[in-house]
Copies of this chain bind each other. A is one copy, B any other.
């Protein structure tokens, strides 16, 4: 192992996600494959590819591009991911995935859970 290898590793960097996504995805009716797909979409976007193809996504997953297309469609239909229009600086229109609906749902879920915990505490105090 050489120092150059370590520097390359450092350059790859990290992915940082809100902890709540990890602790609450199940409550939001997402399974582990869907969580992983979301992480891939998020990471591709961070690296500048805002509309990765199912082939690109599936290349990093243990599912086929066809299955990936189905998963993406399902996530869009259930309101976790949306497709947005953008205009490049050269005026060319393009499409991109947005995870805004996911963050919004996640925050709602977070508020709901806090509310439930409060009510639980109040019930205990009453008895």
Contacts of A17 in B (CB 8 A): 14-15
Given known A-B contacts A14-B17, A19-B15, A43-B22, A7 and B110 have beta carbons under 8 A apart: no
Is residue A93 within 8 Å, beta carbon to beta carbon, of the partner chain? no
A58 to chain B, nearest CB (A): 9
How many copies the complex holds: the figure is 4
- Chain B residues with CB below 8 A from A2, complex form: 1
Which of B19, B48, B111 touches A14 (beta carbons < 8 Å)? Answer: B19
A27 and B18 alpha carbons, distance in the complex (Å): 26
What is the total number of residues of chain A having a CB less than 8 Å from a CB of chain B? 42
**Closest CB-CB distance, A70 to chain B, in whole Å?**
15
Return 23 A-B CB contacts under 8 Å, by A number: A1-B1, A1-B2, A1-B3, A5-B114, A6-B6, A6-B103, A6-B107, A7-B100, A7-B104, A9-B110, A10-B103, A12-B23, A12-B110, A15-B17, A19-B43, A23-B43, A23-B60, A32-B33, A32-B36, A32-B61, A32-B63, A33-B33, A48-B48
